[in-house]
Amino acid sequence: MPNTREEYIRTLRDKLELWKAQLEKLEVQAALAKAEARVEYHEQITDLRHKRDEAKRKLDELQHAGEHAWKDMKAGLELAWDAVEAAFASARARFK
C-alpha cells in the first residue's frame, strides 16, 4: 500500500471503482443465469454490495480523519479491504 495519505486514498478509490465494475459484470451474469442460479447470484451480489458500501464508509472516515489519525486507521482499513477483496475473489471463482 502507498505511504502518503493522498496516495492511499487514491488507491482505495481505484479499488472501489474496480469492485463496482465487477459487481456490474456479476449482475449481467445473474441476468443470464438459470432461475436457480439467479437466486445464488443475487444473494452474493447483495453481500458484496454491503461489503463494498462498508469499505466506502471507511474510506469516507479516512478522508475526514486528521493527518496523524489516518496512520492509526490504516491497519484496520487494510484488514477490512482485504476481506472485501477476498469476497470478490471468491465470487469471481464461484461464478466463472
> Block means of pLDDT (10 residues each) for the chain, length 96 residues?
82 94 92 88 93 92 84 84 91 83
C-alpha cell at 61: 472516515
Query: Are the CB atoms for 45 and 88 separated by under 8 Å?
Result: no
What is residue 35's predicted lDDT score, i.e. its pLDDT? 87
What is residue 24's predicted lDDT score, i.e. its pLDDT? 94
Query: Are the CB atoms for 23 and 45 separated by under 8 Å?
Result: yes
What is residue 1's predicted lDDT score, i.e. its pLDDT? 61
What is residue 13's predicted lDDT score, i.e. its pLDDT? 94
Report which of 96, 92, 79, 94 is spatially closest to residue 23, judged by C-alpha positions: 92
